[in-house]
Amino acid sequence: MGTWNLPQSLEKAKKLQNLLKKPLIALDTENKLYDLLGDDDLFDSIIEEQRVFGDDLDVRDLVKSSL
């Protein structure tokens, strides 16, 4: 467990920043984030929240808090 990917280039940081400007739906998160921000705890939290609140949950706050 742990972090395996962080946005360590300006290009990836800007992609992440742009991604977080609009709602980030839980159902699409893994595909959109995996190459930009990979963290087991983050993805576990997203899955837990998705089970409680549904697939349409906006997970931007979870992503921001993991940074």
Q: What does the domain layout of the chain look like in residue ranges? A: 3-66
Reported as type and span, the H/E element at residue 5 is strand 3-5
| Residue that is written with structure tokens 């697939």 in the block | 55
Burial of 52 (C-beta count, 10 Å sphere; 0-12/13-18/19+)? exposed
First-to-final CA distance of the chain: 16
Per-residue pLDDT in tens (0 to 9) along the chain, 67 residues: 688 889 999 999 999 999 999 999 999 898 999 889 999 999 999 999 999 999 999 999 999 998 8
Instruction: Enter the pTM of the model.
Output: 0.88
Half-sphere CA count of 24, side-chain side, radius 13 A:
19
